[in-house]
Copies of this chain bind each other. A is one copy, B any other.
Amino acid sequence: MDSTAGTAELALLLEVAGTPTPGNVDRERDLPALSFEQFLAGATGARPGFRRAAEGGPFGEAFEEAIRGMAACAGTNTQFGAILLLTPLVRAAGTGALTPDRARKQVETAGVEGAVGFYRAFDHVAVNVPPPPADVPDVRQGSDAIATLRDRELSLSAVLTPAADRGGIATELLTGFDRTFEMAADLGATDAPLSRAVPAVQLRALETAPDPLIVTAHDAETAQWVQQRAATLAPPPGAADIDLPAVRSFARTLVDRGINPGTTADLVAGGLFVALEREEVTLQ
Contacts and interface: CB of A to CB of B under 8 A. Distances in A.
A14 B37 contact: yes
Contacts of A194: 37
Nearest to A13: B40
A47 B4 CA distance: 13
Nearest to A19: B27
B13 A283 contact: no
Interface size class of A (residues with CB under 8 A): 20 to 34
Task: With a 10 A CB-CB cut-off, give which of A10, A28, A72 has the most chain B CB atoms.
Answer: A10
A6 B47 contact: yes
A195 B36 contact: yes
A193 B34 CA distance: 12
A284 B10 contact: no
Interface in A15-51: 17, 27-28, 33, 35-38, 40-41, 44-45, 47-48
10 contacts: A10-B41, A10-B73, A13-B13, A14-B40, A17-B36, A17-B37, A33-B284, A37-B195, A38-B283, A75-B284
Given A10-B41, A35-B195, A37-B194, 10 more contacts: A2-B48, A6-B69, A6-B73, A9-B44, A13-B40, A17-B37, A35-B283, A36-B195, A38-B283, A75-B284
